[in-house]
Amino acid sequence: MHLLWGMATVALAFPFLPLKPRRALKSRWSRQLLDALGVRLRVAGTPPVSGLLVANHISWLDIYAINALAPTAFVSKDDVRAWPLIGWLSARTETIFLERGSRGAAMRAKERVSGELRQRACVSVFPEGTTGNGDTLLPFHSALFQSAIDAGTRVAPVALRYTGRDGEPSPAPVYVGDTSLWQCLRAIVTTGGLTAQLHFLPALDPAGQDRRQLARQAHRLIASRLARPCTDTAIPDDLPDLIGFDLAGINGATDCANAAMPQPLRAG
């Protein structure tokens, strides 16, 4: 029912609304979806209103947790267009689609992200290029960090985790490997008492930096906040499957230097 309401809103209201009301609708709809699933929000730091937002990636639920607090355009693999209902919604809610295996399409995607950022929009990307199990932070692909450099806008790292009633990380929302959307959704609902915790970290100024440096800084900030081990931080320079739910490789990891335990988050 909530999805149908969202589709009606997108079809009837979005085409006629300026950016600010569209963002407000997206935020409200995302909050209501989380509430319907029994997922609470806790937030630390200040959500950005513009810039390139980069976050670790655990679940399809990440998109709605972020949109509830910082409604943005998302970069997604082109395959999502074909998903029932979700693909239709994505195509009409400021999603920037990226074709796999096409360098020309990748360049166009980077240029579009740069254009959105120049207009003071907020664009979100998951630079790991795939979902993970929350125990390890994968290396960040650096290509789309160039968009922030080209636009002269800041990069806003976000550390995301899900906890259960006991305050410990919960596997319920993890969406990796052969897990289906239905299985993940059922785990979220039946587990209950989940909290999505988002920590908006200090924004990074791209001035005088290249994309690899920016990607490395964002990676270290997020790993430190989550107190999670991370893989070799050699930064791939290609464009990833930016919401690659079907790719779930987790490699051997080493502890990140100077990892600090996360501080308590305030209720949102």
Transcribe 123-186 into DSSP letters. Answer: EEE-TTSS---SS-BPPPP-TTHHHHHHHT--EEEEEEEEE-TTSSB-STT---TT--HHHHHH
At residue 239, the pLDDT reads 58
Q: How far is residue 89 from each of residues 14, 70, 73, 171, 232, measured CA to CA in Å?
A: 11, 18, 12, 27, 36
Looking at residue 109, what is its pLDDT? 82
The helix-helix angle for 19-36 and 2-12 (nearest 10°) equals: 170
Q: What is the pLDDT of residue 204?
A: 98
Which of the 8 DSSP states describes residue 245?
T
**Domains in the chain with CATH codes:** 18-246 (3.40.1130)
| Distances, alpha carbon 95 to alpha carbons 63, 116, 243, in Å | 11, 11, 11
Q: What is the pLDDT of residue 21?
A: 82
Q: What average pLDDT score do residues 52-80 get?
A: 91
Token pair belonging to 81: 């267009």
The mean per-residue pLDDT over the stretch 37-63 comes to: 95
pLDDT over 80 (residue 71) = yes
Tell me: pLDDT of 215 over 90.
Answer: yes
Rounded Cα distance, 121 and 119, in Å? 5
- HEC secondary structure over 116-132: HHHCCCEEEECCCCCCC
Closest CA to 24 of 87, 90, 88, 68: 68
Residue 265: is its pLDDT beyond 50?
no
pLDDT at 242: 43
CA 201 to each of CA 145, 156, 220: distance values in angstroms, whole numbers, following the listed order: 16, 7, 11
Q: Is the pLDDT of residue 14 over 80?
A: no
Report residue 161: phi and psi, to 5°.
Answer: -150, 160
Q: Above 60 in pLDDT, residue 261?
A: no
Averaged pLDDT, 130-153:
92
pLDDT of residue 214: 96
pLDDT greater than 80 at residue 267: no
The CA distances from residue 71 to 68, 157, 208, 221, in Å, are: 6, 15, 28, 22
Pair type for strands 73-77 and 122-125? parallel
Residues 138-147: what's their mean pLDDT? 93
> Among 2-11, 53-62, 152-161, 258-267, which is the least confidently predicted range?
258-267
pLDDT of amino acid 133: 85
* pLDDT number for residue 106: 74
User: 67 is written with which tokens?
Assistant: 């949109």
User: What value does the mean pLDDT of the chain take?
Assistant: 81
User: Which tens digits make up the pLDDT trace of 150-173?
Assistant: 999 999 999 999 999 999 999 999
Q: How many CB atoms lie within 10 A of CB 91?
A: 15
On the question of pLDDT at 123 being above 80, the answer is yes
- 93 near 234, Cβ under 8 Å? no
Which one has a higher pLDDT value, 9 or 161? 161
Q: What is the pLDDT of residue 230?
A: 56
The stretches of 204-243 forming alpha helices (DSSP H) are 211-226
Residue 116 to residue 122: CA distance in whole angstroms: 8
120 token code pair:
């003071």
Q: Is the pTM for the entire model greater than 0.85?
A: no
Q: What is the mean pLDDT of residues 122-126?
A: 94
Residue 45 is given by DSSP the state S
pLDDT band at 18 (very low <50, low <70, confident <90, very high): confident
**Residues 8, 89: contact at Cβ < 8 Å?**
no
Q: What are phi and psi of 137, to 5 degrees?
A: -100, 115
More reliable by pLDDT, 8 or 199: 199
